[in-house]
Amino acid sequence: MDKMILRRMEYYGYHGVFDEERKLGQRYYIDLTLELDLHEAGINDDLSKTVNYAEVHELVKGIVEKKSFKLIEALAEDIASSVLDTYTMVGALTVGVTKPHPPFDIHFEGVTVEMYRSRK
């Protein structure tokens, strides 16, 4: 299966277990790998035969920036189900949600959850 990969889309959201996280917000990075057939789009140079990645970006932006979840797992699940519900030509996807600066008294680059979802 072909893939469309959207790497490190950056948004500002209000997610977290702690009240301050949901009040102050923080930066999040989203990675999406969409599995779909890109053959017709490639040979015909036709946007209607593929997924418009600008629209995917806006869909994800609306979820990350307008909703609030305690867990980034819930955020990832919402993104996955919304993309699959909106784009029927996507057969499966992998979504990664990175919280680059979790509020811990330890130093590391961030935490990422990654999940794979497909049509049943």
Residue ranges and CATH numbers for the domains of the chain are: 2-118 (3.30.1130.10)
Compute the average pLDDT of residues 14-42: 95
State the pLDDT confidence band at 27, using cuts at 50, 70 and 90.
Answer: very high
pLDDT digits (tens, 9 = 90+) for 49-79: 999 999 999 999 999 999 999 999 999 999 9
CA distances from 57 to 7, 108, 114 (A): 11, 27, 18
Residue 102: the pLDDT is: 76
Q: Is 42 left (phi over 0), alpha (psi -120 to 50) or beta?
A: alpha
Q: For the purposes of burial, counting CB atoms within 10 Å of the CB of 50, is it exposed (0-12), middle (13-18) or buried (19 or more)?
A: buried
Contact between 39 and 2 (Cβ < 8 Å): yes
Catalytic residues: 99
